[in-house]
Structure 1
């Protein structure tokens, strides 16, 4: 693994667990086993590192999502997506959604972290819509169903993040399908 990759992975873990503002450049460099100078040489600034981490997290999430949904028939996309979200929220390393978290810390919709979060969420919706269309659902209904499933998934993430894991969620796919 290159120094740059190590910094991104280390920063990802720190940002995810501790937050973006709480993770200073000195702490990031120290945990990555490098110097602030090296960090700045690779990313230009903490903002550059945040952008790189969000790109890394986006790819990581989308790859896992695609793999999870590829294991199920396309006709089960809605259920497979919700199962994926539930399984993720029950994992021991779940600290909420990094993209929701960063929007809380960078509330300006014009900030790069906020823009990257919006793009990430849009790509999830597009992914769901495309997959639903591939199973024969017409375009309008695929978009409506994708939006319903997406919103339900986002609600599950927030519910888990706020300690509301005691809900019966087994039949949620029946609500939207």
Structure 2
């Protein structure tokens, strides 16, 4: 069964807790979403609060995918670029699909929902994202139509002796 996607749903404690659990579960399964395992919900909440503040200020759109039980199964945050010369593209952050739902095509559905959301925004012509090298995420994003447009070698340190590239990718929306 496919996920049901919603943009900027009404925010309540259940949604907040669902995103927090999703973020912790994805991180603890090795997902490259800003934390290293092990991570707790208490460590994630301040980062989620930053996203929620941006949503409240109108700078970010939340795309939520719910499974057949109504549980939060996937999220992505689409942030408008505020620089006057770069308002024609948006950032995509914290793209997550719960580990129990991975391998079912839900990641591709989430990326399509994020692109549809971006297309609905005035003046947004492209989506830009970054991902951690060495995880395979760049291959996934390429399969969703993104193109690698840059790479910063060893920009991410996941351990004292483990550095990863920061891979910059772009999806033109109308070309």
Return the TM-score normalized by structure 2: 0.36
Structure with the higher strand share, 1 or 2:
2
Which of structures 1 and 2 has the bigger CA Rg?
Answer: 1
Point out which structure has higher relative CO (alpha carbons under 8 A, 6+ apart): 1
